[in-house]
C-alpha cells in the first residue's frame, strides 16, 4: 500500500491535518523536516500533540547543513529569484531522499484564500506528487485549526503567542514585511542583530517599506508589529521568486 505522509511543520495547521489524515488512514506517518532554527517551544508542542495522536513523528534532516544559519553562511545566499536556499537544503533535499514515488503527501494548507492559492501552485510545480489537503477539503481556516488545537487542551506554539502568524524559523528570510522584522527585533534581538550583520555583509535588503527595499536595521525603532506577515514555509519557498 502507498505510504500516506503528513508533512508536520510543528504548527497548528499541520497538526490538525495529521489528525484528519489519521481518520482516513490509521497507518499514516507524520514526518518533520528539521531546520534546527525554530523556537524551543516547538519541541514541547510536538510532544504534546504526539500524546494527543498517541503516535510519534519521524524527523529527517540535512546531512550537510546543521541549521538555517549554516546554510546562509556557507552558501552566502539568503533568498532571491531562485527562492529560499534554506528550504531547498533543509526541507526539499531531505524530502526527496526520504520519499518514494508512490507516496501520498498530506499538507496542512488551510481554507484561507492565500493557502488555497499556494496549494494550487504546489500541485502545479510538483505535479508528479500525489497531494492531499484535508483542511481545505474540510473548509477549515487558520482560526479554526488554532481553536481545534486549543480545544484539546494543548497550548499553541509560543511563536503564535508572541504575535507571529506561523511557527516558522527564527528568522525567516522569506519575510519582506517590516512589521515582521520589527517583531523579530522585539522578541528575538540576538537573532535580529545576527541577521543585520549577515544581510549587510551580503548586501541583501530583506524588508520592503513603501515599495522600496531596505536593510532590516533601517526599519524605524517605533515601527508597529501589528501585521507581521511572513509566508508559510513549505517546498514552494525553494522555487518561488521571493526577493
User: What pLDDT does 234 receive?
Assistant: 57
| Cα torsion 76, 80, 86, 91: sign | negative
Distance between CA 227 and CA 40 in Å, rounded?
Answer: 23
Would you kindly state where each structural domain of the chain is located, as residue ranges? 4-161, 178-218
pLDDT digits (tens, 9 = 90+) for 18-73: 999 999 999 999 999 999 999 999 999 999 999 999 999 999 999 999 999 999 99
| Average pLDDT over every residue of 151-166 | 94
Angle between helix 12-24 and 41-53 (nearest 10): 20
pLDDT digits (tens, 9 = 90+) for 91-104: 999 999 999 999 99
User: What pLDDT does 101 receive?
Assistant: 95
Burial 207-228 (b: 16+ CB within 10 A, else e): bebeeeebbbbebeeebebeeb
Cell numbers at residue 24, please? 482516513
pLDDT digits (tens, 9 = 90+) for 13-33: 999 999 999 999 999 999 999
Q: Is pLDDT larger for residue 79 or for residue 241? A: 79
| Average pLDDT over every residue of 229-243 | 51
Cell numbers at residue 127, please? 505535479
Express the helix, strand and coil content of the chain in percent, nearest 5 each.
Answer: 45, 10, 40
Contact 40, 188 (CB under 8 A): no
The third-level CATH classification (topology) of the domain covering 4-161 is Rossmann fold (3.40.50)
The pTM for the full model equals 0.90
User: What pLDDT does 33 receive?
Assistant: 97
User: What pLDDT does 229 receive?
Assistant: 66
User: What pLDDT does 32 receive?
Assistant: 98
Cell numbers at residue 166, please? 506561523
Amino acid at each position: 500500500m502507498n505510504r500516506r505522509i503528513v508533512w508536520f511543520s510543528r504548527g497548528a495547521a499541520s497538526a490538525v491535518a495529521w489528525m484528519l489524515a489519521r481518520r482516513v488512514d490509521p497507518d499514516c506517518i507524520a514526518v518533520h523536516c528539521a531546520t534546527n532554527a525554530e523556537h524551543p517551544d516547538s519541541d514541547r508542542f510536538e510532544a504534546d500533540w504526539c500524546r494527543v495522536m498517541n503516535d510519534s513523528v519521524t524527523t529527517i534532516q540535512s546531512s550537510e547543513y546543521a541549521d538555517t544559519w549554516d546554510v546562509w553562511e556557507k552558501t552566502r545566499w539568503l533568498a532571491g529569484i531562485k527562492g529560499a536556499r534554506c528550504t531547498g537544503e533543509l526541507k526539499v533535499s531531505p524530502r526527496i531522499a526520504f520519499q518514494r514515488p508512490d507516496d501520498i503527501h498530506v499538507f496542512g494548507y488551510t481554507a484561507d484564500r492565500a493557502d488555497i492559492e499556494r496549494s494550487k501552485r504546489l500541485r502545479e510545480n510538483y505535479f508528479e506528487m500525489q497531494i492531499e489537503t484535508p483542511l481545505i477539503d474540510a473548509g477549515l481556516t487558520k482560526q479554526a485549526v488554532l481553536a481545534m488545537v486549543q480545544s484539546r487542551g494543548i497550548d499553541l506554539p509560543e511563536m503564535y503567542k508572541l504575535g507571529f502568524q506561523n511557527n516558522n524559523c527564527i528568522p525567516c528570510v522569506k519575510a519582506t514585511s517590516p512589521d515582521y522584522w520589527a517583531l523579530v527585533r522585539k522578541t528575538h534581538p540576538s537573532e535580529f542583530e545576527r541577521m543585520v550583520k549577515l544581510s549587510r555583509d551580503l548586501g541583501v535588503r530583506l524588508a520592503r517599506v513603501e515599495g522600496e527595499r531596505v536593510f532590516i536595521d533601517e526599519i524605524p525603532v517605533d515601527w508597529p508589529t501589528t501585521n507581521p506577515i511572513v509566508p508559510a514555509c513549505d517546498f514552494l519557498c525553494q522555487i518561488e521568486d521571493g526577493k
